[in-house]
Amino acid sequence: MEPITEREIRTSFVNCSKGEALRLGLPADLAEKSWPDLDFLGWRDPGAPERAYLVAPYEGRLVGVSLRASGGGARGFGARSMCSVCFTTRTGGGVALMTARRTGEAGRQGNSIGQYLCTDLQCSLFVRGIKTSAVGHDLDESIDPAGRIARANANLHSFLNRLFA
């Protein structure tokens, strides 16, 4: 991913108001991000832990998505969950159902979509092996890192397609 500015981030959001986009908390380490290792920028709002955001290239433009993370605290410590973007298996609340209000008329009517995502939204680092989960990548996949990156991007693109549908 190419480096992006605060202005580009704030103007990219498609499922929240301009006022909400102006008020959301940005990652404190934006200037230090390793942009070549990111397929999308994802973060949790430091002032509102149930809120998460992602900004990704989509069909020739940047698209920002406001997400709401489920509590998910009822699962046992040893329970495993898998992210539907990067296929990383994690325990202890490392994956949560995140919902996004749909765009357009469907969103104005209150319709949303959900996806199980890494709670820290660091999928790009997991598929590259830069970050690992406590469980490890236990799928014993034969797919190489480039294939895992392509699959994660396809899964994210599918999520974004549903957002606009």
**Alpha helices for 38-144 (secondary structure H):** 104-108, 123-127
The whole-model pTM stands at: 0.90
| Dist. CA 18–CA 137, nearest whole Å | 39
Q: What 8-state DSSP symbol labels residue 13?
A: B
pLDDT of amino acid 70: 85
pLDDT of amino acid 153: 98
CA torsion, ordered 103, 104, 110, 114, to nearest 10 deg: -20
**Confidence label for 95 from pLDDT (cuts 50, 70 and 90):** very high
Helix (H, G, I), strand (E, B) or coil at 22: helix
Query: Mean per-residue pLDDT for 91-108?
Result: 92
Q: Where are the domains positioned within the chain?
A: 6-164
| Dist. CA 133–CA 130, nearest whole Å | 10
Query: Mean per-residue pLDDT for 137-148?
Result: 78
